[in-house]
Chain A
Amino acid sequence: MTRPTEPQETLDLKDRIFAGMLAWLIPGAGHFYQGRHAKATIFCVCILGLFVFGMVIGDGRVVYAQWQPAKYRRWPFLCQVGCGGPSLPALVTSYRNADSFFNSEMYVVPDWRNPGQDLPSDLDKLHNSLNRRFEMGTVYTMIAGLLNILVIYDAVAGPAYGLQRRKPRDEEDKSPKKQDAEDKPKDE
């Protein structure tokens, strides 16, 4: 027996590319633009929360962009930049070789050069003062950036499992096997 086909629900993703760019720039903004407010709130709170928490425990020094010299290349920034807007000031300070960001040391590339023999560099001092919080903050901000890549994909292409809906409980109870068993005539 064939079941009547249900009308296929579709999700209006509006301008997908624009939504993807918004999602990269501010986590959750792409979904707000698409009218998917609940998911946008989840993404915004979770991803920005992780990023800000990472920045706080790392004293704002864990997100910076450095490419030269190769020994001190900041690979974690490739993940952090997935968070978009909150990580972009690092590119600006790095490009301008600035030693402050709005009168703070946030996003500033720490100096790796030793000022003299046996004297610690800024990077040494940073590791010494923050201790494990430097690595923790780096991990938090990296994971925030990586999660936002999933969010961008969701804004551009929709949810991975499509538009499944939770079945009502009475419908769940009547799964095809149970239905068949009920339909079978009893021998007795």
Chain B
Amino acid sequence: MQNDLWYAIPLILSVSLVYAATRHEDMNLIWRHAIRAGLWITGLMTLILAVLFVVTMYLV
């Protein structure tokens, strides 16, 4: 599928993993923190996408 949103996936994975790994030393805690951070980023970006989508609908 041709969609620029695919470019976000490696970024979300890497950012959440690296961020979590700089917070903790224990691998279990790193994985848990990374999953939480990844979900937060995805949720926030989805929310922003929805807001922008609604705004552009009214602008057209």
Tell me the A residues contacting B by CB distance below 8 Å.
11, 36, 38-39, 42-43, 46-47, 49-50, 53, 132, 136, 139-140, 143-144, 147, 150-151, 153-154, 158-161, 163-166
Q: Which residues of B contact A163 (CB under 8 A)?
A: 25-26
Q: A42-B17, A42-B18 in contact; A143/B11 too (CB < 8 A)?
A: yes
Q: Is the CB of B24 within 8 A of A164?
A: yes
Q: Which residues of A contact B14 (CB under 8 A)?
A: 46-47, 49-50, 143-144, 147
How far is it, in angstroms, between the C-alpha of A82 and the C-alpha of B20 when the chains are bound?
Answer: 19
Q: Which residues of A contact B32 (CB under 8 A)?
A: 166
- List the count of A-B residue pairs having beta carbons below 8 Å apart: 67
Give the shortest distance, in Å, between A26 (CB) and chain B (any CB).
15
Closest B residue, CB atoms, query A157: B22
Asked whether any CB of chain A lies closer than 8 Å to the CB of B51, the reply is no
Interchain residue pairs A-B with the least CB separation, the first 7: A46-B14, A154-B22, A166-B28, A150-B22, A147-B18, A159-B25, A160-B23
Give the shortest distance, in Å, between A44 (CB) and chain B (any CB).
10
Tell me the B residues contacting A by CB distance below 8 Å.
4, 7, 10-11, 13-15, 17-19, 21-30, 32
Q: Which secondary structure dominates chain A's binding surface?
A: helix
Partner of B26, one of A50, A136, A164: A164
Q: Is the CB of A161 within 8 A of B24?
A: yes
Q: Which residues of A contact B4 (CB under 8 A)?
A: 132, 136
Q: Which residues of A contact B22 (CB under 8 A)?
A: 150-151, 153-154, 159-160
